[in-house]
Amino acid sequence: MILLLGAWVVIIEPRWVAHREISVEVRHWKGPAGLKVAVASDWHFTKRALWRVMTVERARAIVREINAAQPDVILIPGDLIAEHNYKPDFAATPEDEIAEVLGELKAPLGVYVALGNHDWWHDGPAFTAALERRAIKVLENDAQLLKGTQVWVVGIGDDMTGHSDPRAAVKKLPPGAHSLVFLHDPASLKELPPVRGLAVAGHTHGGQVYLPFVGALVVPGDAPRDWAYGWVEHGDNRMYVTSGLGVSILPVRFNMRPEWVMFTLDAPAVNPARPP
């Protein structure tokens, strides 16, 4: 029994990626009807398949799966790399190799990244340059209007490494604007002014081990432990924290599958008027 549990926790669940579909109703929605937003966080690319899971081959399979779902826009809330000694096989640098794989993601309204703590510990500016050479926009405490829409995409920097500035990130937003806000660390939600639309974060991996009646055993950073996974609320904001795709510290997951999420945003359904 112990051997079976160990195999599940170390071998099976960390590689059993879930594709979740979540519908989000936004009052007076100003964006395209049924806007599809894919969120894929915490890839943690590695060359150590048994210890960190996310090899280039596995990442490419997930990229193909996301593309097949035909998202309108893709958000990547950081932590692209797992270790400092990553040795690229087909590019000049680790960040170039990772950017080449993620550059295969396709979405008509763009692919956006906010860097995570592991990306900054590696080389934040190098990652930014490599990603933008592959037409992936890096947003660090900045906002950009999605082409042809009235929706803004807002990227917030990493809290753990001191790059988070939520107030600066939303300064460009016109009053009443709808936005797609993505941040690496859910701790940044504490300083986020009220936003309308969708807010998502990564970083926690859902704790990787999530026990019934207990929750996540460990949540890195300054976010409360009950912000490890799923919908959380703070003030006027509501945010989804994803479990991400990779692993960190230990190569284990229990009751917390890796995931990427497709959100579909639309106005609330209107009930037809009752007949007289």
Contacts of 100 (CB under 8 A, 6+ apart): 90, 91, 134
Give the CA-trace dihedral at 173, 115, 62, 226, to 10 degrees: -80
Mean pLDDT of the chain: 95
Query: For residue 45, what is the DSSP state?
Result: B
In the chain, the domains with their CATH numbers are 2-266 (3.60.21.40)
pLDDT in tens, 12-63: 999 999 999 999 999 999 999 999 999 999 999 999 998 999 999 999 999 9
- Position 276 confidence tier, pLDDT thresholds 50, 70, 90: very low
Give dist(CA 63, CA 102) in Å, integer.
7
DSSP letter for 149, please: S
Taking alpha carbons only, the member of 175, 207, 213, 210 closest to residue 193 is 175
Cα distances (angstroms) measured from residue 105 to each of 48, 119, 149, 176, 216: 23, 19, 21, 31, 31
255-275 pLDDT, tens per residue?
A: 999 999 999 999 998 765 555
- Please check whether residue 42 is in contact with residue 79, taking contact to mean a CB–CB distance below 8 angstroms: yes
176-196 pLDDT, tens per residue?
999 999 999 999 999 999 999
How many Cα neighbours within 13 Å face the side chain of 249? 11
Task: At 122, give phi and psi (nearest 5°).
Answer: -80, -70
Q: What is the pLDDT of residue 272?
A: 57
Quick one: pLDDT at residue 7?
A: 86
